[in-house]
Amino acid sequence: MYIHLSPMTQHHLPVLPCMCGNFRRTARTLTQLYDQALRPRGLRATQFTILQSLSLAGEVSQGQLGEMLAMDSTTLTRTLQIMGRQRWIAERPGKDRRERWLRLARAGEIQLNRALPAWEKVQSRLRSQVGGQAWKNLLQLTNQVTELLTMEGDSL
C-alpha cells in the first residue's frame, strides 16, 4: 500500500510513512549539524560520540562499545583505528586475540574537553528550538526504540 506524500513546501518536509526513513533523515541532518560544529575542533560527530561514551563508561571492550552505540563492528573498527592514530583511545588486549579493551586516553580527554563547548552550543540551540519537554521526550523515545530493537531484534 502506497501513501500519497503531501508536496513539500518551502518550510515543511513531507512526513514519511516509514519509521526508518524518518529516523534516517533526522540522523543525517543531525549528523551534518554536529559535524559542522565539531569540524573546527578536528572531530566528526561519530568520533565525539565515541569519546563521550568512553568518558562516561570508562574501560569497555570493543564489543561492549559497539553494543552501547548500536554500531556494527566494521564501522567501529575503522573509526577506532583513526582515533587510535590520533592517540585519543588507549587499548589493551583482552584474554584472547579477539578481545580489545578500550578507554579514553589523555589526548582523547583533551580533545573531548576542547569540543564540549561547540557540542553544548548545538545541544542548547536545538533544545531551545524543540522545547525542553519535547527534547526530553525525544531522548527517552529514541533510547526506548533503540533498546527495543537491540533487545528484540528480528522477533518484531
Is residue 90 situated within a structural domain? yes
- The answer to whether residue 15 sits within a structural domain is no
Q: State residue 95's pLDDT score.
A: 85
Per the structure, the count of domains in the chain is: 1
Which residue range is the domain that position 73 belongs to? 20-150
pLDDT at 94: 83
Q: State which residues of the chain have pLDDT below 50.
A: 1-6, 8-9
pLDDT in tens, 107-136: 999 999 999 999 999 999 999 999 999 999
Q: For residues 15 and 85, give the distance between their C-alpha atoms in angstroms, rounded to a whole number.
A: 42
Cα distance between residue 108 and residue 55, in whole Å: 9
Taken in order 85, 89, 92, 97, the sign of the CA dihedral is negative
- Listed in sequence order, the residues at least 6 apart from 155 whose beta carbon sits closer than 8 Å to its beta carbon are none
Q: What was the pLDDT predicted at 65?
A: 96
> pTM for the complete prediction?
0.87
What is the reported pLDDT for 58?
Answer: 95
Is residue 52 included in any domain, yes or no? yes
pLDDT at 49: 97
Does the residue 12 lie in any domain? no
The pLDDT assigned to 11 comes to 61
Task: Say if 121 falls within a structural domain.
Answer: yes
Query: How much is the pLDDT for 3?
Result: 45
Q: What is the pLDDT of residue 1?
A: 42
CA distance 152 to 72: 17
Is 2 a domain residue? Answer: no
With respect to residue 92, please indicate whether it lies within any of the assigned structural domains: yes
**155 belongs to a structural domain:** no
Domain containing 68 — which CATH number? 1.10.10.10
